[in-house]
Amino acid sequence: MSPNTKEMRILSTTAILGYGFPEESFQRGLDRDPHLIAVDAGSTDPGPYYLGSGKSFTDRAFVKRDLTFMLKAGVERKIPVVIGTAGGSGAAPHLAWCRAIIEEIAKEENLSFTMAVISADIPKEKVYAALDQGRILPLHGVHDLTRELVEQSTHVVAQMGMEPLQEALKAGVDVVLAGRTYDPAVFAALPVLRGFDPGLALHLGKILECAAIAATPGSGADCALGILEEDSFILEPLNPRRKFTCASTAAHTLYEKTDPYHLPGPGGELDLTECTFTQIDESRVRVAHTRFVPSERDMVKLEGARPAGFRTISIAGTRDPVMIAGIDGILEDVRGQVDAMRRGKASMAGEVYFHVYGKNGVMGPLEPLASQDMHSHELSIIVEAVGPTKEAADTLCSVTRSTLLHFGYEGRISTAGNLAFPFSPSDIPMGEVFEFSLYHLMDREPDMFPIEYVTVGGAK
């Protein structure tokens, strides 16, 4: 099937819905008469809390702001609007949260349109059955899945590919709102439906999912335009401050990937072994020769999170050169003293972690410069306590913080206290802690992603 048009122009508004974008960039994108307005609304990057808790990691006010621009332009100009991984994690509460915002906008802006709402939640019974039948595999470095882990998970979603989005678009809806979605699929589904090459479309989607981050200087809060042609695609900035270069485009192609030539996803992988990047002019790049290779086994990624306790932290700083020089031993001694005091006390159950910024705070034990002399003149120390209850975490953080504050280490001169606290109160409850319980592959099943068709804002 040949493309219905010689090219397809796709407007990507922002790296994640709610990050914002300049109105001027968006208008420049509209001036290019796009065939599709699309945005990736989520990620697992912020960690398991948001999937486990059912909350969004983006702010409602800015999600509404971004969606208002997109929906008004899409409805008025009859441009399909596609939103993937609604609410940040794409589970049922996230989908409902984003749907409510859309309905609110339609009411306030007097918009009327049809919308497909696609669920990505997987019933636990289906996961149990697939697990018993050996149809679930762990991703590299991930634990084997058990029924107990599934049962403990508050939400389980599967990462949908292009097919559910295409089914909705074939029905002629104006807006597609999807749960957890493979990021590039949001941008590739409609072009592939219209006959464009899936390898090029998915590669373009891989870059557009982060909008202008792939430009230079990059930004997660700016728009970008992708122009898909029969044998290549073009990346075009929509802000005069930015440009796409071969280096920036190729670098972003490797973003979040361990293999520079093979990028796996639902239904297959992108083969980049013959991919080329060509600078068209100062700000535009053409990409060609990306191939899509279908996989022998059609699988989707499962994601789930389970509660793991409660967290309380305390943030402090030190500028004492004696303490800085001996910080590793001091923290171990403090840990030992706290462990001795809480032995046998259920009210102080849990674990203590020290994060020392200025010395291996970012990479911890993986820091390659750990063995070299440290030259920091000050350190930030975060005391993190995780306990089975909020009360246990509060108690453990409090006693660890106070022990470190007045701990007498060798060479100490001042007895007034070892730490400076930027905030009062010094201890900050962080709420419930979650951990990923599912990060596995499961065979795709028919009707895995049910679609609800609704009319928003009254009859069209």
Mean of the per-residue pLDDT values of the chain:
94
- pLDDT at residue 372 in the model: 65
Whether the per-residue pLDDT at 103 is higher than 50: the answer is yes
Whether the per-residue pLDDT at 256 is higher than 80: the answer is no
- Local structure of 281: helix, strand or coil: coil
The percent of residues in the chain predicted with pLDDT above 90, rounded, is 89
Whether the per-residue pLDDT at 460 is higher than 60: the answer is no
Q: What is the CA radius of gyration of the chain?
A: 25
| Position 3 confidence tier, pLDDT thresholds 50, 70, 90 | very low
Whether the per-residue pLDDT at 371 is higher than 60: the answer is yes
| Position 105 confidence tier, pLDDT thresholds 50, 70, 90 | very high
- Model pLDDT for residues 41-85, shown as the tens digit of each residue: 999 999 999 999 999 999 999 999 999 999 999 999 999 999 999
The highest-level CATH class for domain 305-437 is alpha beta
For residue 425, say if its preceding peptide bond is cis, omega within 30 degrees of 0. Answer: yes
**What residue spans define the domains of the chain?**
7-120+159-298+444-456, 305-437
Cβ(211)–Cβ(255) below 8 Å:
no
Cβ(180)–Cβ(83) below 8 Å:
no
Average pLDDT over residues 255-279: 91
Distance CA 306, CA 154 (A): 6
pTM, rounded to two decimals: 0.93
- Model pLDDT for residues 398-449, shown as the tens digit of each residue: 999 999 999 999 999 888 889 999 999 999 999 999 999 999 999 999 999 9
- Model pLDDT for residues 142-178, shown as the tens digit of each residue: 999 999 999 999 999 999 999 999 999 999 999 999 9
| Position 5 confidence tier, pLDDT thresholds 50, 70, 90 | low
Cβ(418)–Cβ(323) below 8 Å:
yes
- pLDDT at residue 364 in the model: 87
- Give every strand in the sheet of 7-12, ordered side by side: 276-279, 285-288, 232-237, 224-229, 7-12, 36-40, 81-84, 175-178, 113-118, 451-456
- Local structure of 11: helix, strand or coil: strand
Return the HEC string of 167-187. Answer: HHHHCCCCEEEECCECCCHHH
Whether the per-residue pLDDT at 225 is higher than 90: the answer is yes
Cβ(189)–Cβ(118) below 8 Å:
no
| Position 459 confidence tier, pLDDT thresholds 50, 70, 90 | very low
- pLDDT at residue 348 in the model: 80
Q: Which two tokens stand for residue 209?
A: 């999912």
Average pLDDT over residues 201-227: 96
- pLDDT at residue 131 in the model: 96
Distance CA 335, CA 315 (A): 17
- Model pLDDT for residues 109-123, shown as the tens digit of each residue: 999 999 999 999 999
